[in-house]
Amino acid sequence: MTTTRHTSESQNIPAGAAAPQLCVVTFGCQMNKYDSSLVEGRFRKSGYGTTSSVEDADVVIFNTCSVRDHAEERTWSWVGELKQLKKRRPDMVIGLMGCMAQRVEEEAFKRAAHIDLVAGTRQFQHLPQMVEEVRSRRADSSLSRSDERVAFTDMAAEVPVDRTGEIWTGGRQAFLAVMRGCALSCTYCVVPMTRGGVQSRSIPQLVQEARWHADQGVKVLTLLGQTVNSYGEDFSVPLEGQPRGTGRQGREGLGDLLRALQEVPGLERIRMITLHPSYATRALAEAMRDCDKVDRFLPLPAQAGSDPVLKRMKRAYNLDLYRKRADTLRSVLPDLELGSDWIVGFSGETEEDFVGSQRFLEEQQFIVNYIFKYDERPLTKAAGFPDDVPEAIKKERHQRLMETSERVQRARFEQWCGRTEQVFLEAVSPRDANILQGRSVHGLSVSIAGGEELLGTKVPVILDECTAYGFSGRLARGTASEDLACNGTEGK
């Protein structure tokens, strides 16, 4: 098997032939969803159609995740399902991309012999050409099965994104990866290995892509990065006399990007996932304050509520530092809501450490929490620590932290109940065509009765009732006092 880089864009699809079909099956986080949309765009430019059915597809690409073992097992089980289909339709091309693909590289071919190609996390832009390469190798009868396969997993410095000529089919919401990779090294995490070091895209490039989206009807843009607020860490420091940005040492930072995106006509809301406390700065909070398109909600994972655990996780902060960062954000944005991720049962986590997580969740009043049982990942630093918390205890702590989270969420929701929030209406409820669903600027899920003409607009909504998942409300026909309350400066 050889690995070859291909640069040609055009494919040889005969005029009049039915368009070949691509099916991308996506696992993992929003970055994978974004990457899948880039891949679909590339294939469409090469003359492909897209389908959600593997049965109808000529090319199936699995966009994979490696963060926990369960994510990998689910992928292998899907891949296994295609074995019989491939026997019936040997012309199919089956590929892997994403974090697991990057982690296992060519091992994938050993685990599932019907896989034809593997593209790493910074190589997926070459997928249409890789598919053509597989096809041309198949046509060469002198090559063995293993020589037909193609793998390309180099950690290239950049993932070029060029959406010119593409037609956006994703509706009112879109993702925009502003940076990739991670410069940190949390001991439990595979991401630095699968995604590599930090690579930020320039502000003009990102504004161009945001404009392209807005021109095609996108209203809500979610900025993505493994640590999205480390955006710009890889930019060079400005020389003396040159304009200085909001990032570290005067580099351009996420605050500068927000200010630039605020000016994109047609764009209504800007969201961000996921932030790391170490890069949560006053400059970022000030940019959020000055940009009314930016949501007043941030996912700022704490992961644990015990200093010894945070130290073993190598999270690069202790609880006091986290508090300081959160206080800085809240001093500029008093109505800011925070969400968090948590790992329970990390190596050496005692009952006392765990209770610390419950306390910290309550103290910081996180309104949304994603809770995971620690899962030892190959080649991470923590894989060398004893994974000494029994599964039954992990399960029990998971349950207890969920209960804490539900209690805190209920209390926060009750504080919001009865108030008026600005809500961006995003979708019609799948269960009732007369109900519209949306999210408030503080990240609350809200549904109201209303017709499709309101979709894609931001409206003031009185939050009448809260459920376990969000709110039901009704349109408030904007008065000056309601607008004031919408900005979250009153009534809390």
Q: Which residues sit at the interface with ligand SF4, rule CB under 6 A?
A: 182, 184-186, 189, 191-192, 226-227, 276
d(CA 122, CA 28): 16
CB of residue 164 vs ligand F3S: minimum separation in angstroms? 27
Q: Are 219 and 172 in contact (CB under 8 A)?
A: yes
Residue 409: name its binding partner from ligand SAH, ligand F3S, ligand SF4, none (Cβ under 5 to 8 Å by kind). Answer: none
Q: Is 98 in the site for ligand F3S (CB under 6 A)?
A: yes
Q: Which amino acid is at 367?
A: I
The only residue of 42, 86, 195, 412 in contact with ligand F3S, by rule CB under 6 A: 195
Q: Minimum distance from CB of 378 to ligand F3S (Å)?
A: 12
For ligand F3S, which stretch binds (CB under 6 A), given 61-69, 270-278, 304-312, 389-397? 61-69
Site size toward ligand SAH (CB under 6 A) is 17
Is 66 a binding residue for ligand F3S by CB under 6 A? The answer is yes
Among residue numbers 211 through 230, which ones bind ligand SAH (CB under 6 A)? 226-227
Shortest CB 186 distance to ligand SF4, Å: 3
Q: Which is nearer to ligand F3S, 181 or 443 (CB)?
A: 181
The string of DSSP letters for 340-387 reads EEEEES-TT--HHHHHHHHHHHHHHT-SEEEEEE----TTSGGGGS--
By the 10 Å C-beta count (0-12 exposed, 13-18 middle, 19+ buried), 367 is classed as buried
221 DSSP assignment: E
In the chain, the amino acid numbered 266 is: G
Tell me if 345 contacts ligand SAH by CB under 6 A. Answer: no
375 binds ligand SAH (CB under 6 A): yes
Look at residue 247 and give the partner it binds from ligand F3S, ligand SAH, ligand SF4, none, a contact being a CB closer than 5 to 8 Å depending on partner kind: none
Report the nearest approach of ligand SF4 to the CB of residue 191 (Å): 4
Q: Which is nearer to ligand F3S, 194 or 364 (CB)?
A: 194
Q: Which is nearer to ligand SF4, 184 or 454 (CB)?
A: 184
Compute CA distances 422 → 64, 262, 292, 338, 348, whole Å.
36, 17, 11, 18, 44
Alpha helices in 89-139 (DSSP H): 98-104, 107-111, 127-138
Q: Which two tokens stand for residue 109?
A: 């071919």
To which residue do tokens 């053509």 refer?
132
Strands (E), 207-289: 220-224, 269-273
Which option in ligand SAH, ligand SF4, ligand F3S, none does residue 372 bind, with CB closer than 5 to 8 A by kind? ligand SAH
Which of ligand SAH, ligand SF4, ligand F3S, none binds 192 (CB below 5-8 Å, type-dependent)?
Answer: ligand SF4
- Kindly tell me which residue out of 32, 36, 230, 303 binds ligand SAH, with binding defined by CB under 6 A: 303
Kindly tell me which of 123 and 246 has the beta carbon lying closer to ligand F3S. Answer: 123
Among 34, 322, 366, 372, binds ligand SAH (CB under 6 A): 372
* Per-residue CA distances from 263 to 174, 390, 457 (Å): 17, 52, 18
- Cα distances (Å, whole numbers) of residue 245 to 24, 160, 177, 260: 38, 24, 20, 12
Q: How far apart are alpha carbons 378 and 353 in whole angstroms?
A: 25
- Residue 208 exposure: Cα atoms within 13 Å on the Cβ side: 9
Q: Counting contacts by CB under 6 A, is residue 194 touching ligand F3S? A: yes
- Site for ligand SAH, rule CB under 6 A: 67-68, 188-189, 191, 226-227, 274, 276, 301, 303, 341, 343, 372, 374-375, 377
